[in-house]
Amino acid sequence: MSVSQTARQPQMSAKPANSSGQERGQSAARISTEDKVTYRNFHYGSLHHRVLNTYRLMHTYQTVEFVKGKISDWASCSQAQMTMMEALQALDQIVDESDPDVDFPNSFHAYQTAEEIRKVYPGLDWLQLVGLLHDVGKILSLWGEPQWCVVGDTYPVGCRFQDSIVYRDSTFSDNPDLKDPRYSSLYGMYEPNCGLDKVLMSWGHDEYLYNVLKTNGCKLPQEGLYMIRFHSFYPWHTEGDYMHLCSSKDLNMLRWVKEFNKFDLYTKCNDLPDLKELQPYYQQLIEKYCPGKLYW
């Protein structure tokens, strides 16, 4: 199913609208410009030490060799069989140690994101489901993976670490790829405009869930798969970096990833939804796009 097909239904847009006063742009955030600056504060706050330590470990140990090893470990999706709802409910046990904004289980954030998308895009049920599922890959942390290789912002390995990466100036000094001539240039082991599908990203929940959805033949459109695969790639979709590695397809998809980010980021608050009340609606979406038991 393509976005152009779903867009023919009433009250839908074939592409994400801009935020210049339109209802969608205002509703997605529901906060003022002044309040927005309080999100993603990596410099101080009650969670600062935890967040900084998570990124320090990530930036020390995420190397080309490490990422290739994790792909080998998890690409077969042979860890478990469970439904998507069962995996989603497992997020009740996970508090993201890289997140400076919230300190409650990830399952609440999943429904917060999905419900705001539902209000703004009532006709795009696949987009609502993406909001619900985007962090389900964090289930890796329940299977023995440390959070520094599950959560947090992602970025390419195998080329120069750009300044737009969080804590770039203070946490990479012990990463062996930093001084490896194969990986320390602007393009490193990649060709110009090779496309993000040919780039090794730091390992985490984005790439893992994308792999699960592809392996199980889930029916989300490619726009939704892009949102899931790259929603943590803040140096790209928010800072505008790594464009030298992007293909024309990546650039076309960027507006969808940026649109999704508004819901992912600015819906985080301590007003927690009633998960049991919302589950029946989202269960029908799961049955439509990701039915039955899946391989994980």
Q: Which of 116, 111, 103, 104 is nearest to 85 (CA)?
A: 111
What kind and span of H or E run contains 168?
A: none
Give the integer Cα–Cα distance in Å for 70 and 40: 27
Q: Is 13 assigned a ligand-binding role in the annotation?
A: no
Q: Is 98 assigned a ligand-binding role in the annotation?
A: yes
Q: Is 153 assigned a ligand-binding role in the annotation?
A: yes
Q: Is 237 assigned a ligand-binding role in the annotation?
A: no
Q: Is 30 assigned a ligand-binding role in the annotation?
A: no
Q: Is 135 assigned a ligand-binding role in the annotation?
A: yes
Q: Is 177 assigned a ligand-binding role in the annotation?
A: no
Q: Is 109 assigned a ligand-binding role in the annotation?
A: yes
Helices (H), the chain: 3-6, 23-29, 33-36, 48-61, 64-74, 84-90, 106-120, 125-133, 205-215, 222-230, 234-237, 248-266, 275-289
Q: Is 244 assigned a ligand-binding role in the annotation?
A: no
Q: Which of 196, 185, 191, 177 is nearest to 160 (CA)?
A: 185
Q: Which residue has the tokens 């993976």?
A: 145
Q: Is 231 assigned a ligand-binding role in the annotation?
A: yes
Q: Is 134 assigned a ligand-binding role in the annotation?
A: yes
Cα distances (Å, whole numbers) of residue 204 to 6, 28, 67, 112, 134: 30, 26, 9, 22, 12
Q: Is 202 assigned a ligand-binding role in the annotation?
A: no
Binding site feature residues for substrate:
40, 96-98, 138, 152-153, 231-232
Binding site feature residues:
40, 96-98, 109, 134-135, 138, 152-153, 205, 231-232, 264
Binding site feature residues for Fe cation:
109, 134-135, 205, 231, 264
